[in-house]
């Protein structure tokens, strides 16, 4: 296709408004975001209900139906399954959601599960959405569980490039894959910024950083579950190029998406390792801080004990003459040495000997 524009060209368009809901029908639920019929890469109609979509697709067998649903009811999915011969296992997965990213082929229908992600700046967290895609020869059905991704952007860009849209449902699938993978880039940037902030908080001694590390680590586990299976899925699609006669231009797009997924998966693996290392460093720093505090407490206790020893030693030294003076100051008539001439010098000498003896003992024991 020599007249094809480069990949970057068909992606740079003004941001469209969100997909508008079709005109409500008494039997139609608001889960039908938009249903459109395309022929030769151009929109020919936008049916209001699934029944109108089925009817118009039968009237135009050379057309392609692109149906977008958000949290559809069981009746809606069974209606689609009956019309497009969707496998019951794939329909069951689309109803239950909470599936891992995967790619399954049921006859002529390809069933793809993707996990989209977006970074919420206000909460500083990663929000995940789930997208189920049914790809058939003349139809593509998307079932969203969550706010991400915004497929209105993909629809708008594809409609702006009729040549690419004319390649059929596979072109839409690859465009959706590209949009989901491109949506990982802001998440990677946001997580990198969070890790930089966490490193600053760790070395700043913030006590709340451990919880933040743990929460971000859990998000990275979820992010890894969303991105890692995509590598194998895209390589599986590339392995079927020759078997299913995939257009060469789409092959280039898919290889480019696979490169982006591989890069993102490697970054996520690096984030997990970095967070594990940061958690180890934080634990080491916390341990060092606790040891320093324990050492300071021990030193303070030691100094306090030394002071108590000095106070106790001096109290004992001062208590000795007080004891002698108290005994000899008793007012009893019958007391030894009461009328002895050398009684006073003896009492003073006794006080001095006792005080000196106690001082020498405490000094030897390093209490003074």
Domain ranges of the chain: 1-172, 305-364
Q: Minimum mean pLDDT among 1-5, 201-205, 269-273, 308-312: which range?
A: 1-5
- For 158-172, the pLDDT digits (tens) are 999 898 888 888 889
Nearest to 176 by CA among 233, 108, 95: 233
State the greatest distance between any 2 C-alpha atoms of the chain, in Å, as a whole number: 142
Distance of alpha carbon 28 from alpha carbon 248, whole angstroms: 39
Nearest to 196 by CA among 265, 275, 121: 275
Asked if residues 321 and 351 have their Cβ atoms less than 8 Å apart, the reply is yes
Q: Residues near 6 by Cβ (< 8 Å), separated by ≥ 6?
A: none
How many C-beta atoms surround the C-beta of residue 132 within 10 A?
A: 23
Q: Residues near 194 by Cβ (< 8 Å), separated by ≥ 6?
A: 124, 212, 216
Is the pLDDT reported for residue 9 higher than 70?
no
Asked if residues 91 and 77 have their Cβ atoms less than 8 Å apart, the reply is yes
Q: For residue 299, with 0-12 CB atoms within 10 Å meaning exposed, 13-18 middle and 19 or more buried, which class applies?
A: exposed
What 3-state class would DSSP assign to 253?
helix
Asked if residues 43 and 36 have their Cβ atoms less than 8 Å apart, the reply is yes
What 3-state class would DSSP assign to 62?
coil
Is the pLDDT reported for residue 11 higher than 80?
no
What pLDDT is attached to residue 139? 92
C-alpha 257 chain-centroid distance: 23
Distance of alpha carbon 105 from alpha carbon 90, whole angstroms: 10
Nearest to 190 by CA among 247, 271, 131: 271
Q: Please tell me whether the peptide bond between 254 and the residue prior to it is cis, using omega within 30 degrees of 0.
A: no
Asked if residues 166 and 41 have their Cβ atoms less than 8 Å apart, the reply is yes
Chain mean pLDDT for the chain: 81
Is the pLDDT reported for residue 150 higher than 50?
yes
- For 88-131, the pLDDT digits (tens) are 999 998 888 788 899 898 988 999 999 999 888 877 788 888 89
Helical H segments across the chain, by residue range: 7-11, 50-59, 74-84, 88-96, 151-159, 162-165, 169-182, 184-204, 209-239, 241-244, 248-328, 343-364
Domain 1-172 belongs to what topology? Beta Polymerase; domain 2 (3.30.460)
The CATH number given to 305-364 is 1.20.58.340
What pLDDT is attached to residue 142? 92
Q: For residue 186, with 0-12 CB atoms within 10 Å meaning exposed, 13-18 middle and 19 or more buried, which class applies?
A: middle
- For 253-266, the pLDDT digits (tens) are 888 888 999 999 99
What pLDDT is attached to residue 113? 93
Distance of alpha carbon 98 from alpha carbon 28, whole angstroms: 25
């Amino acid at each position: 296709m020599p007249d094809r524009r480069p990949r970057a060209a068909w992606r740079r368009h003004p941001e469209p408004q969100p997909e508008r809901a079709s005109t409500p029908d008494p039997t139609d639920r608001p889960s039908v975001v938009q249903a459109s019929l395309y022929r030769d890469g151009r929109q020919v109609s936008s049916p209001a209900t699934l029944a109108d979509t089925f009817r118009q697709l039968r009237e135009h067998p050379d057309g392609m139906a692109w149906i977008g649903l958000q949290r559809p009811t069981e009746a809606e999915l069974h209606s689609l399954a009956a019309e497009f011969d969707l496998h019951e296992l794939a329909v069951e997965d689309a109803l239950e959601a909470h599936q891992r990213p995967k790619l399954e082929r049921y006859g002529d229908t390809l069933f793809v599960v993707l996990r989209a992600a977006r970074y919420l700046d206000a909460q500083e967290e990663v929000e995940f959405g789930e997208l189920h895609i049914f790809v058939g020869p003349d139809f593509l059905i998307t079932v969203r569980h969550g706010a991400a991704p915004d497929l209105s952007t993909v629809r708008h860009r594809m409609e702006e490039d009729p040549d690419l849209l004319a390649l059929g449902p596979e072109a839409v699938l690859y465009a959706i894959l590209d949009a989901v993978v491109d949506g990982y880039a802001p998440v990677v940037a946001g997580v990198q910024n969070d890790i930089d902030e966490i490193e600053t908080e760790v070395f700043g001694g913030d006590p709340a950083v451990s919880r933040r590390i743990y929460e971000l680590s859990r998000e990275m586990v979820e992010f890894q579950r969303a991105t890692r299976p995509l590598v194998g899925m895209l390589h599986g699609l590339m392995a079927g190029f020759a078997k299913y006669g995939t257009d060469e231009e789409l092959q280039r797009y898919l290889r480019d998406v696979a490169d982006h997924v591989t890069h993102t998966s490697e970054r996520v693996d690096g984030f997990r390792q970095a967070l594990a290392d940061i958690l180890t460093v934080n634990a080491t720093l916390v341990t060092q801080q606790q040891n320093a505090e324990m050492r300071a407490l021990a030193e303070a206790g030691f100094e306090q004990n030394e002071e108590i020893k000095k106070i106790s030693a001096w109290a004992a030294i001062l208590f000795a003459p007080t004891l002698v003076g108290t005994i000899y100051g008793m007012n009893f008539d019958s007391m030894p040495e009461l009328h002895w001439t050398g009684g006073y010098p003896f009492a003073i000498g006794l006080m001095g000997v006792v005080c000196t003896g106690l001082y020498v003992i405490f000094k030897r024991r390093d209490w003074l």
